[in-house]
């Protein structure tokens, strides 16, 4: 009986999809517990690249059970698109995927509200993915949401009432729209979704645990985007942290085993909001180019910067991380020196903790380490690592006080090195 959790520790896009796919053979079940199609999880293997949004990243590894938990928000139209694309490439999900009846539905009007609220915010907009995430979670918390289970009974009335309420708000915001095409696609998605196994997934999760099965819980977004502990208000609307796996799957905290915290060897962010170590110079451009730092779904340019250990330590504390995973090490292969932020300067005073507000006046304090100037991408074992890279790993482990168990040296499934540390 074990549920391990894999979480992003930065502002998302750390490489969660890749590592979930790599670790899936060690588990019986993979479960998503929050977020929705704002996520874009990339997997590469056998020369193919897949981007998953609502479907768990365990879907490609044999007959594992994949669960979309109650904490997820699901857009039937986008789900249909995603599942059909997978079916077309030979991956039929129907037997392997179960969806919680308690997962909330993203309505077409939620997407409109997302756009309308962003427009109303003007310069202070969040830079959302535009997928209706915020308005859907708002309806959930304000007890107005529609859930997957609602598709099975009196759905038309419930949908009409929700739509009418949303349209009133859109009108009050003077937001112009045309719903017809989107609504038609959405209704087709609803019919498609009904062919899947819609279950009370909290019962299933606990039954599987009782039978001794192991579960890997796949986080979306990252701890710095968490609605409580992230860089509020520039966050997403769900609990991206370790505790979110409990509420998002109906699983008690005493079922949690390892917590894998995943981070890039540097740092990125997409959308608006504070980013203390952001680079605006050619170094940032170089990281973006070498790391192909463009959104997996939207193609948006990701903002790039050095690793921020103040924020990482905070995330590790909130999530109770037991093992670290460092991604995209190869992106730093050709840097003479590498910087790591070890403290913030606020009003001239140096602090080493993550403060209430990082929106203004934070100046990163860096240490500089020698680069390794070596191609890591073909390495198969840590025995091959150059001295300077080992020194970087030692430095991070020393600062973060958690072992780095996995090092990723390229986007492919095979470019993953499991270290001996335990
Ligand atoms: P996720 O949202 O956390 O699953 O991450 P994304 O898929 O949005 O972004 C990670 C990107 O980095 C994807 O394009 C991956 O293919 C790629 N990637 C993952 N690991 C590595 C790595 O170690 N090196 C390089 N160069 N790319 C990687
Ligand atoms: P994965 O799972 C990176 C960001 C958006 C925006 C903020 C709020 O691929 O790591 P939302 O649409 O959720 O209301 O947007 O959160 N964001 C992500 N950034 N990776 C993600 O997911 C993200 N999901 C949302 O850019 O700043
Ligand atoms: Mg992503």
CB within 5 A of ion ligand 3: which residues? 13, 40, 296
Question: Using one digit for the tens of pLDDT, what is the confidence trace for 185-226?
Answer: 999 999 999 999 999 999 999 999 999 999 999 999 999 999
Does the pLDDT at position 23 exceed 60? yes
Q: State the catalytic residue, choosing from 13, 114, 226, 308.
A: 13
Residues 6+ apart with CB under 8 A from 414: 45
Atom 23 of ligand 2, residue of closest alpha carbon: 221
Atom of ligand 1 nearest to the CA of 262: 3
Q: State the catalytic residue, choosing from 4, 21, 41, 104.
A: 41
Q: What is the pLDDT of residue 6?
A: 98
How far is the C-alpha of 92 from the C-alpha of 13, rounded, in Å?
A: 26
Verify whether residue 357 is a known catalytic residue.
no
Cα 348 to ligand 2 centroid, rounded to whole Å: 32
Nearest alpha-carbon partner for 340 in 379, 312, 360: 312
Q: Is the CB of 256 under 6 A from ligand 2?
A: no
Give the mean pLDDT of 122-143: 97
Residues 6+ apart with CB under 8 A from 153: none
The beta strands (E) that lie in 16-134 are given as 29-32, 41-45, 48-52, 65-68, 73-74, 97-100, 104-105
Does the pLDDT at position 421 exceed 80? no
Verify whether residue 292 is a known catalytic residue.
no
Alpha helices (runs of H) in 301-342, residue ranges in sequence order: 309-319
Does the pLDDT at position 285 exceed 90? yes
How far is the C-alpha of 108 from the C-alpha of 132, rounded, in Å?
A: 8
* Helix (H) or strand (E) run with residue 320 in it: none
Residue 1 pLDDT level (bands cut at 50, 70, 90): low
Alpha helices (runs of H) in 131-251, residue ranges in sequence order: 133-141, 155-172, 180-193, 201-210, 242-247
Q: Is the CB of 42 under 6 A from ligand 2?
A: no
Cα 242 to ligand 2 centroid, rounded to whole Å: 17
Does the pLDDT at position 422 exceed 60? no
CA 174 to chain centre: 33
How far is the C-alpha of 106 from the C-alpha of 160, rounded, in Å?
A: 14
* Helix (H) or strand (E) run with residue 109 in it: helix 108-121
Give the mean pLDDT of 316-330: 98
Asked if 183 and 108 touch (Cβ cutoff 8 Å), the reply is yes
Task: State both tokens at 37.
Answer: 């199609």
Q: What is the pLDDT of residue 360?
A: 85
Q: Is the CB of 139 under 6 A from ligand 1?
A: no
Nearest alpha-carbon partner for 239 in 141, 129, 105, 109: 141
SS3 240: coil
How far is the C-alpha of 328 from the C-alpha of 333, rounded, in Å?
A: 10
Atom of ligand 1 nearest to the CA of 42: 7
Atom 6 of ligand 2, residue of closest alpha carbon: 128
Q: Is the CB of 302 under 6 A from ligand 1?
A: no
Q: Is the CB of 108 under 6 A from ligand 1?
A: no
Closest ligand to Cα 12: 2
Mean of per-residue pLDDT scores for the chain: 96
Cα 170 to ligand 1 centroid, rounded to whole Å: 37
Cα 26 to ligand 1 centroid, rounded to whole Å: 21
The reply to whether omega before 411 is within 30° of 0 (cis) is no
Q: Is the CB of 220 under 6 A from ligand 2?
A: yes
Q: Is the CB of 331 under 6 A from ligand 1?
A: yes
Give the mean pLDDT of 89-116: 96
SS3 107: coil
User: Phi and psi dihedrals of 121, rounded to 5?
Assistant: -75, -20
Give the mean pLDDT of 357-361: 88
Residue 295 pLDDT level (bands cut at 50, 70, 90): confident
Residue 184: CB atoms within 10 Å: 12
Alpha helices (runs of H) in 241-299, residue ranges in sequence order: 242-247, 282-291
Residue 62 pLDDT level (bands cut at 50, 70, 90): confident
Closest ligand to Cα 219: 2
Cα 346 to ligand 3 centroid, rounded to whole Å: 31
Cα 1 to ligand 1 centroid, rounded to whole Å: 30
Atom of ligand 1 nearest to the CA of 39: 2
Closest ligand to Cα 375: 1
Cα 114 to ligand 2 centroid, rounded to whole Å: 13
Asked if 74 and 36 touch (Cβ cutoff 8 Å), the reply is yes
Q: Is the CB of 42 under 6 A from ligand 1?
A: yes
Conformational region of residue 180, where left means phi above 0, alpha means psi within -120 to 50, and beta covers everything else: alpha
* Helix (H) or strand (E) run with residue 4 in it: strand 2-8
Closest ligand to Cα 406: 1
- What is the b/e burial string over 106-137, where b = at least 16 CB atoms within 10 angstroms of the residue's CB? bbbbbbbbbbbbbeeeeeeebebbebbbbbbb
Q: Is the CB of 221 under 6 A from ligand 1?
A: no
Asked if 58 and 95 touch (Cβ cutoff 8 Å), the reply is no
Atom 19 of ligand 2, residue of closest alpha carbon: 12
Is 140 buried (19+), middle (13-18) or exposed (0-12) by CB count in 10 A? buried
Nearest alpha-carbon partner for 240 in 229, 254, 231: 229
Q: Is the CB of 327 under 6 A from ligand 2?
A: no
Residue 299 pLDDT level (bands cut at 50, 70, 90): confident
CA 216 to chain centre: 14
């Amino acid at each position: 009986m074990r549920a391990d959790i894999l979480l992003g520790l930065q502002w998302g896009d750390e490489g969660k999809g890749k590592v979930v796919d790599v670790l899936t053979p060690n588990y019986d079940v993979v479960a998503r517990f929050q977020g929705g199609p704002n996520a874009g999880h990339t997997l590469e293997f056998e020369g193919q690249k897949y981007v998953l949004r609502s479907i768990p990243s365990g879907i490609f590894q044999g007959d594992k059970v994949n669960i979309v938990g109650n904490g997820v928000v699901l857009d039937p139209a986008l789900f249909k698109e995603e599942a059909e694309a997978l079916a077309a490439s030979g991956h039929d999900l129907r037997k392997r995927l179960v969806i919680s009846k308690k997962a909330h539905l993203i309505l077409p009007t939620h997407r409109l509200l997302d756009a309308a609220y962003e427009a109303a915010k003007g310069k202070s907009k969040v830079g959302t993915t535009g997928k209706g995430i915020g308005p859907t979670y708002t309806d959930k918390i304000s007890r107005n949401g529609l859930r997957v289970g609602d598709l099975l009974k009196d759905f038309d009335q419930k949908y009409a009432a929700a739509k009418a309420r949303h349209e009133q708000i859109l009108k009050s915001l003077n937001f112009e729209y045309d719903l017809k095409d989107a609504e038609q696609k959405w209704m087709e998605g609803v019919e498609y979704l009904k062919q899947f196994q819609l279950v009370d997934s909290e019962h299933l999760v606990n039954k599987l645990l009782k039978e001794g099965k192991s579960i890997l819980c796949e986080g979306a977004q990252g701890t710095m985007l968490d609605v409580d502990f992230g860089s509020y208000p520039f966050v997403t609307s769900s609990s991206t942290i370790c505790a979110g796996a409990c509420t998002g799957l109906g699983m008690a905290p005493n079922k949690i085993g390892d917590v894998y915290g995943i981070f890039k060897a540097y740092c990125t962010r997409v959308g608006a909001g504070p980013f203390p170590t952001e680079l605006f110079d050619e170094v940032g451009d170089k990281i973006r180019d070498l790391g192909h730092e463009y959104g997996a779904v939207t193609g948006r340019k990701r903002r790039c910067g050095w690793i921020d250990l103040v924020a990482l330590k905070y995330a590790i504390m909130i999530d109770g991380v037991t093992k670290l995973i460092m991604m995209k090490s190869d992106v730093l292969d050709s840097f003479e020196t590498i910087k790591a932020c070890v403290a913030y300067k606020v009003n001239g005073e140096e602090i080493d903790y993550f403060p209430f507000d990082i929106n203004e006046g934070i100046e990163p304090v860096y240490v500089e380490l020698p680069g390794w100037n070596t191609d890591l991408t073909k390495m198969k074992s840590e025995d091959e690592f150059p001295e300077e890279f080992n020194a970087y790993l030692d430095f991070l482990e020393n600062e973060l006080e958690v072992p780095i168990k996995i090092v990723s040296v390229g986007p492919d499934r095979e470019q993953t090195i499991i270290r001996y540390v335990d």
